Structure 1
Amino acid sequence: MTRSSYPDVDIPDLSVYDALFSGIAESDLDRVALVDGPSGDETSYRALIAQIDALAGSLAARGLAVGDRVGILCPNVPAFATVFHGVLRAGGTATTINSLYTAEEIENQLTSAGATWLFTVSPLYAHAAEAAEKAGIGADHLVVIDGAEGHPSLRDLLFERAAPPEVSFDPSTHLAVLPYSSGTTGRPKGVMLTHRNLVANIHQCRDVIPLSRDDRALAVLPFFHIYGMSVLLDYALLQRAALVTMPKFDLVEFLRTVSDERCTWVFIAPPIAVALAKHPLVDEYDLSGVEVIFSGAAPLDRELAKAVAGRIGCQVRQGYGMTETSPVTHAIPIEGDIDLSSIGLAIPNTECRLVDPETGADIEFPDAGTSAPGELLIRGPQVMSGYLNDEEATARTIEADGWLHTGDIATVTAEGVYAIVDRLKELIKYKGYQVAPAVLEAVLLSHPDVVDAAVVGVPDDDAQEVPKAFVVRRPDAGADFDETAVMAFVADRVAPHEKVRLVEFIDAIPKSTSGKILRKDLRSRVGRHALT
């Protein structure tokens, strides 16, 4: 076991709202908190806090009680911050939903979380309304932020000017958010993160992610994902930086926004790094204001990081974490010369262990050089309290003494630098989004011409991970049931990021004697077909 080389930081025993706003200095109130990237419209800290208080008051007046669950289906716009923090300010628990989800997937999350409210925007209204109705959420509890007939809008709620409620709860046990994660395997599960989890993690980040009140940070990574929610939205507000929002990634709009808004910190996932390193459009924009590009959500290749740093003329760093750890556990510091393909140092208040996955024995911290590989386990105040309504999955993931299994195989150097070298987990990271193989396998097995199937992540030409399906066809399947037909079948039934990108037909899926799919055997196959 090793503890972070950073000294522990004090974690205030506060709610997220109080941690971010209760001690704000008068001089910061009129600073810019949020910038709408497409329009350039700005929201001050004073205005944001007033909106959060007003929404919390209106929700309480309409019956929202402490502990009630509220779905948020919304892209990255300034109103997201008002809604998210308004729900938490009122004592509710926010379950943030992927904007690309189908109506069925939205309904599944709302039902699983027990949500009684849903906030959305008009472009997502059709799926939201269908899902809300099936989940038993009435029209008066489906809030369309920018307005829709028959539903309250955010403006309606803010203009009621109700006083914020007096709420009381224990930050260490009260759930702030319920994001959904596939963990190390299986279908998405509600990750129970308390106010203390979120407050702890943003305070832990202060020594390793030196975002300041003079910075302008780009927020193109979605707020519904824990990386966007915690590292961008909450952390930027804690540091009194200005957060520039983008509702979706478009390279031209991305480059224009970074240039026009003079963004100093740009938070990305590796697919954006590929564009920054290779696309000719990058040379047409002035990106000289960028000081740091910080990557997360999926592994960043060393050579790709160097290519981006050289082309943009900035620092490139990456961090590591999971939804289950709120999310950050490791990061490469800005200062120093640490291998860019590593995940860097454990952040403050974080303990780490490497454990032999076969024997369960701890791997010794090296006196020199690099340790043997082992599964990375984490313990700290950022570790979730468990999976919602799933004690079995919780027990598999978190040991009785608080150690969380990441499912990643890592090494550590004598200097405390960790690197991910392999993994036990089955989860696929496609463009930073989680893709659960079990979900895609269930879809494939619903096709009458599929006898068996397995899905794994494999690298594409840019060393980014894509979902590949191995399919056993029914012997008398028609000739038209080919790779294209398989991909089309899956694409009609899942969100865009969950689509199968490669298909290979094989005679049998390799399995252990207990029936477990041997995914490592499948990943070792070199045959790759039908990349789209």
Structure 2
Amino acid sequence: MSFRSPFPDVEIPALSVYDFLFGSIAEADLGRPALIEGASGAVTDYRALIGQIDAIAGALAARGVGVGDVVGLLSPNVPAFASVFHGILRAGATATTINALYTAEDIAKQLEDSKATFLFTVSPLLPHAKEAAAKVGIADDHLVVLDGAEGHPSLRDLLAENAPAPEVSFDPATHLAVLPYSSGTTGRPKGVMLTHTNLVANVCQINPRMGIGADDKVLAVLPFFHIYGMTVLLNAALYNRASLVTMPKFDLPEFLRIVAEQKCTYVFIAPPVAVALAKHPLVDQFDLSSVHTVFSGAAPLDKELGGAVSARLGCKIRQGYGMSEMSPVSHAIPFDGDDVPLDSVGPTIANMECKLVDPGTLEEVAYPTGEGVSEPGELWCKGPNVMFGYLGNPQATAETLDADGFLHTGDIATVDAAGNVTIVDRLKELIKYKGYQVPPAELEALLLTHPQIADAAVVGVLDDEGEEVPKAFVVRQPNAELTEDEVIEFVAERVSPHKKVRRVQFIDIVPKSAAGKILRKDLRTPTA
């Protein structure tokens, strides 16, 4: 049977993201710090942020960008990301946020698929951005370099125009706000169509559970280009008038310095950071007593690891679950949920309905009674935060979203009688490396282009620190003398860093079903 959130439904206003976040901001909040650059301590208050958003929207409108247009944003976490991201939405355009680790080829694929006509980036990423823009026909005057570069407009140029923000009109329930790219349950990256209402809904749904307040300093090391950082940090923190302390990438000494010096109170991480916080001796050299909560997402957090972080830092530890296709949060251990098992992802958030379905029979798993826990089943979720569908891919949409509006997550879960959901396995084949998605099919296709490789399969295996990493099982061509290092190097030269193959095993044959599907479960053995 299906089960709903134990929490009462929340009201979801029919507003654009901009109007929801900033339309009714109190005068007293305009002087509060909105963004603090972790490296320098430079502060952007809410008044300046809103002014920049309006000016960027005006500059885009003056260039003909508006409803129906897509603008790419390729940037790490810097304060200007917030201004540009919300400026794009304020102009009525759709933002497609691009992984800052992507190769030029990856960037070009996303720009082409999303039909982006403008691209914002930063100078360290300009070589890849410029190459990708040229491939898809984005001219230099449509490639904006935030911190400036010869031959391109800069953020300073756009702000100096002081163009008025346009009057735009659209239905927030159907107008696309963002197009993040996800591999969904399988295959190559697809544009996830998320409307303004999807994003607004998810902030409203999680807000009562997260406990973010105006006095919080929230560390923003999780990338804003990823839906987790976009909703939980960039939108939810700003909605609550908290301060976001930005970090462009994770570096443990810098991470610890910023938390200590800025006195960050709320820290959002992915599990690899939890390993460092629990085990690294450097942690003891910094005063982290300001932190009241560490929240983990993007991949499962082990109960013992979470407990070790909590004990060492003297703070609450929480985790949640979601997907890009759900804007992204569907489950979270509440801020005040001290009785919720830490190895679960907590109860379903407000306004959502879920069910567990046996992947073999497609029969619904019975909800438990008393102290019991259900049988495992694929988690299906329905709610106002669930995507519109995949861009230009009705087949993939139909495979993921059913006629009743349930999103088939591809993850196997159980639920206890209190409504707490635990993710126990992955039906889908996607590998999660440090929170980033790695589609095995993409790496297999690449490996098969090597002249000395006859066949290949890729699965996720755990490394010595419990992190899931891509491992390639390779069948050599007859008489080939290919080595493990050569395979790793071949892939590394052609993919983004997070997609690199980390381990290689040579085998005689890739196990496959009668239909030719790779039997990955046969490769996931204790010796693999």
TM-score range, shorter chain: over 0.9
In the alignment, the residues of structure 1 paired with residue 515 and residue 490 of structure 2 have an alpha-carbon distance, to the nearest angstrom, of 29
In the alignment, the residues of structure 2 paired with residue 349 and residue 509 of structure 1 have an alpha-carbon distance, to the nearest angstrom, of 44
Name the structure 2 match of 1:393.
396
Q: How does 1:408-427 map to 2 (within 5 A)?
A: 408-427=411-430
- Count of residue pairs brought into register by the alignment: 525
In the alignment, the residues of structure 1 paired with residue 331 and residue 509 of structure 2 have an alpha-carbon distance, to the nearest angstrom, of 39
In the alignment, the residues of structure 1 paired with residue 121 and residue 335 of structure 2 have an alpha-carbon distance, to the nearest angstrom, of 37
Q: Tell whether 2:481 aligns with 1:461.
A: no
Cα displacement string for residues 196-255 of structure 1 (whole angstroms, at most 9, x for unaligned residues): 000000110112101000100000010110001111101100011000000111100000
Output the amino acid matched with 2:391: L
In the alignment, the residues of structure 1 paired with residue 441 and residue 477 of structure 2 have an alpha-carbon distance, to the nearest angstrom, of 20
In the alignment, the residues of structure 2 paired with residue 192 and residue 524 of structure 1 have an alpha-carbon distance, to the nearest angstrom, of 37
Task: Report SS of the residue matched to 1:526.
Answer: coil
In the alignment, the residues of structure 2 paired with residue 14 and residue 339 of structure 1 have an alpha-carbon distance, to the nearest angstrom, of 36
> Among residues 393, 403, 406, which one is paired with 2:406 in the alignment?
403
Q: Which moved more, 1:88-97 or 1:363-372?
A: 363-372
In the alignment, the residues of structure 2 paired with residue 147 and residue 170 of structure 1 have an alpha-carbon distance, to the nearest angstrom, of 35
In the alignment, the residues of structure 1 paired with residue 352 and residue 208 of structure 2 have an alpha-carbon distance, to the nearest angstrom, of 13
Shift of residue 65 of structure 1? 2.1
Task: Report SS of the residue matched to 1:438.
Answer: helix
Q: How does 1:287-436 map to 2 (within 5 A)?
A: 287-335=288-336, 336-368=338-370, 369-436=372-439
Q: How does 1:275-286 map to 2 (within 5 A)?
A: 275-286=276-287
In the alignment, the residues of structure 2 paired with residue 509 and residue 525 of structure 1 have an alpha-carbon distance, to the nearest angstrom, of 17
Output the amino acid matched with 1:491: A
Name the structure 2 match of 1:70.
71
Name the structure 1 match of 2:169.
168
Shift of residue 526 of structure 1? 1.1
Displaced runs of 4+ in structure 1, greater than 4 A?
none
Structure 2-normalised TM-score? 0.99
In the alignment, the residues of structure 1 paired with residue 511 and residue 196 of structure 2 have an alpha-carbon distance, to the nearest angstrom, of 43
Shift of residue 524 of structure 1? 2.1
In the alignment, the residues of structure 2 paired with residue 11 and residue 520 of structure 1 have an alpha-carbon distance, to the nearest angstrom, of 42
Output the amino acid matched with 1:395: A
Cα displacement string for residues 372-427 of structure 1 (whole angstroms, at most 9, x for unaligned residues): 11000000001000001100000000001100000000000011011011111111
In the alignment, the residues of structure 2 paired with residue 464 and residue 339 of structure 1 have an alpha-carbon distance, to the nearest angstrom, of 22
Q: How does 1:57-96 map to 2 (within 5 A)?
A: 57-96=58-97
Name the structure 2 match of 1:530.
none
Shift of residue 523 of structure 1? 1.1
In the alignment, the residues of structure 2 paired with residue 422 and residue 146 of structure 1 have an alpha-carbon distance, to the nearest angstrom, of 43
Name the structure 2 match of 1:513.
514
In the alignment, the residues of structure 2 paired with residue 423 and residue 272 of structure 1 have an alpha-carbon distance, to the nearest angstrom, of 22
Shift of residue 98 of structure 1? 0.7
Q: Tell whether 2:448 aligns with 1:445.
A: yes
Output the amino acid matched with 2:387: M
In the alignment, the residues of structure 2 paired with residue 511 and residue 329 of structure 1 have an alpha-carbon distance, to the nearest angstrom, of 34
In the alignment, the residues of structure 2 paired with residue 334 and residue 236 of structure 1 have an alpha-carbon distance, to the nearest angstrom, of 14
RMSD after superposition: 0.7
In the alignment, the residues of structure 1 paired with residue 167 and residue 445 of structure 2 have an alpha-carbon distance, to the nearest angstrom, of 46
Shift of residue 58 of structure 1? 0.8
Shift of residue 525 of structure 1? 4.7
Name the structure 1 match of 2:6.
5
Output the amino acid matched with 1:204: Q
In the alignment, the residues of structure 2 paired with residue 416 and residue 199 of structure 1 have an alpha-carbon distance, to the nearest angstrom, of 24
In the alignment, the residues of structure 1 paired with residue 299 and residue 438 of structure 2 have an alpha-carbon distance, to the nearest angstrom, of 12
In the alignment, the residues of structure 1 paired with residue 397 and residue 527 of structure 2 have an alpha-carbon distance, to the nearest angstrom, of 35
Shift of residue 508 of structure 1? 1.0
In the alignment, the residues of structure 2 paired with residue 461 and residue 338 of structure 1 have an alpha-carbon distance, to the nearest angstrom, of 29
In the alignment, the residues of structure 1 paired with residue 454 and residue 341 of structure 2 have an alpha-carbon distance, to the nearest angstrom, of 45
Output the amino acid matched with 2:316: Q
In the alignment, the residues of structure 1 paired with residue 291 and residue 276 of structure 2 have an alpha-carbon distance, to the nearest angstrom, of 16
Structure 1-normalised TM-score? 0.98
Output the amino acid matched with 1:159: A
Name the structure 2 match of 1:159.
160
Cα displacement string for residues 455-493 of structure 1 (whole angstroms, at most 9, x for unaligned residues): 111111121111111111112102xx1111110000000
In the alignment, the residues of structure 1 paired with residue 177 and residue 66 of structure 2 have an alpha-carbon distance, to the nearest angstrom, of 13
Name the structure 2 match of 1:470.
473
Name the structure 1 match of 2:527.
526
In the alignment, the residues of structure 1 paired with residue 79 and residue 374 of structure 2 have an alpha-carbon distance, to the nearest angstrom, of 45
Cα displacement string for residues 80-128 of structure 1 (whole angstroms, at most 9, x for unaligned residues): 0000000000001000001111111110110011000000010011110
In the alignment, the residues of structure 2 paired with residue 65 and residue 256 of structure 1 have an alpha-carbon distance, to the nearest angstrom, of 41
Task: Report SS of the residue matched to 1:340.
Answer: coil
In the alignment, the residues of structure 1 paired with residue 518 and residue 343 of structure 2 have an alpha-carbon distance, to the nearest angstrom, of 29
Task: Report SS of the residue matched to 1:256.
Answer: helix
In the alignment, the residues of structure 2 paired with residue 353 and residue 305 of structure 1 have an alpha-carbon distance, to the nearest angstrom, of 27
Shift of residue 13 of structure 1? 0.3
Name the structure 2 match of 1:498.
499
In the alignment, the residues of structure 2 paired with residue 524 and residue 338 of structure 1 have an alpha-carbon distance, to the nearest angstrom, of 32
Task: Report SS of the residue matched to 2:505.
Answer: strand
Output the amino acid matched with 1:181: S
In the alignment, the residues of structure 2 paired with residue 284 and residue 123 of structure 1 have an alpha-carbon distance, to the nearest angstrom, of 31
Name the structure 2 match of 1:252.
253
Output the amino acid matched with 2:55: A
Task: Report SS of the residue matched to 1:346.
Answer: coil
In the alignment, the residues of structure 2 paired with residue 132 and residue 214 of structure 1 have an alpha-carbon distance, to the nearest angstrom, of 41
Task: Report SS of the residue matched to 2:117.
Answer: strand
Output the amino acid matched with 2:360: E
Task: Report SS of the residue matched to 2:210.
Answer: coil
Output the amino acid matched with 1:207: P
Task: Report SS of the residue matched to 1:281.
Answer: helix
